[in-house]
Amino acid sequence: MTATDTLHRPLHDLRISVTDRCNFRCRYCMPAEDFGPGHNFLPRSEILSFEEIVRVARVATGVGVRKLRLTGGEPLLRRGIEDLVAMLSTLDGIEEIALTTNGTLLAHHAEALALAGLARVTVSLDALDPLVFGHMNGVGARVERVLAGIEAARTFGLGVKVNSVIQRGVNESEILPLARWAREQQLTLRFIEFMDVGETNHWNSAQVIDAQEILSIIGREFPLDPLPPTHAGETARRWGFADRRGEIGIIASVSQPFCRGCTRLRLSADGQLFTCLFASHGHDLRPQLRGRADDSVLHSALLGLWQSRDDRYSEQRGQVHAPKAEMSYLGG
């Protein structure tokens, strides 16, 4: 069966955070002043085991989940991540397993991930300029490592998309260089409006470069044609280059909310289920997972949670003031 919520949205996607740790300190997600050397990350005992993750995913297929995405933190920091992919790839009903990464460890893992059954990766790349990139990632990481990871993923047959978060006064100068590069590389590029996820990124609407402005900047050099959605619930609005050499997309959660098409459920690394990226709290599955509850109890929990879901934060932005969970904890 496919569960639907109070706004008749079906459950289709499960995003699974495998760790709350990351080797970047991007200011829009995990700023160093809040996630410094003394920050208390989740203890190992609280993080779900691979077996627990697989059990949740298996039960979730019974309420409609067909696609899985592994996130973090940085998921490639989780030891044995390829083993988890292999375990998930055996589940009946799962059509695709994807992974979101900052790309710095991807060159090392790409072959094993592909062999394990991973279908595609989404790589975060907010700038090509080394200085801008180093400033944005907060640790001075080199953009060459990310580009090498992308190349390795393509070499081993993984589908690749690239995501770029754009902030005014930070990296708007990178919009055109990224578009040129993606077109030359024949890669799918998604620009993301700077969002107010969590409480530590000091979000200010003045820093949002909206979809129309991004399109205008790219359109100065490349004519663009709108493309139809590839599937229901797609988050990005898509445009193709007029010469048919690739496409770009924009995820416009701020200026053009798409809450009414959201089909995503999120599982945090410590077993909390969240029905919205902007939620303040989740539903703790660990008592069932680590107690004696059978799968029917888990099934009922997932079904009831989704059927009662009424989240539409982006449509109500400015009207909701509850503290929000951090993106590095939820997995984006």
Residues at the binding site for GTP are 15, 69, 100, 161, 264-266
Pairing state between β 13-17 and 264-267: parallel
Q: Are 289 and 56 in contact (CB under 8 A)?
A: yes
The first and second tokens of residue 139, run together, are 């640790």
Residues at the binding site for S-adenosyl-L-methionine are 28, 73, 124, 195
In this predicted model, what pLDDT tens digit does every residue of 52-73 receive, in sequence order?
999 999 999 999 999 999 999 9
Report residue 177: phi and psi, to 5°.
-55, -40
Q: Are 274 and 265 in contact (CB under 8 A)?
A: yes
190 band by pLDDT with thresholds 50, 70 and 90: very high
pLDDT for residue 320 is more than 90: no
313 band by pLDDT with thresholds 50, 70 and 90: confident
Q: Are 224 and 237 in contact (CB under 8 A)?
A: no
- Tell me the average pLDDT of the chain: 94
The per-residue pLDDT for 38 is: 86
**To 10 degrees, the CA torsion angle through 327, 75, 281, 254?**
30
With b meaning 16 or more CB within 10 Å and e meaning fewer, what string describes 245-284? ebbbbbbbbbbebbbeebbbbbbbbbbbbbbbbbbeebee
Residues at the binding site are 15, 22, 26, 28-29, 69, 73, 100, 124, 161, 195, 259, 262, 264-266, 276
Residues at the binding site for [4Fe-4S] cluster are 22, 26, 29, 259, 262, 276
**What CATH number was assigned to the domain covering residues 13-330?**
3.20.20.70
What DSSP character marks residue 274?
E
Q: What is the pTM of this model?
A: 0.95
Q: What does the alpha-carbon distance between residue 210 and residue 205 come to, in Å, rounded to a whole number? A: 10
DSSP 3-state assignment of 138?
A: coil
In 3D, which of 93, 78, 98 has the Cα closest to residue 163?
Answer: 98
Spans of all domains in the chain? 13-330
**pLDDT (average), residues 23-31:** 93
**To 10 degrees, the CA torsion angle through 192, 193, 198, 199?**
140
Report residue 264: phi and psi, to 5°.
-110, 135
Q: What does the alpha-carbon distance between residue 4 and residue 12 come to, in Å, rounded to a whole number? A: 10
292 band by pLDDT with thresholds 50, 70 and 90: confident
Helices of type H across the chain: 50-61, 81-88, 106-116, 130-137, 143-155, 175-185, 211-219, 286-290, 295-307, 327-330
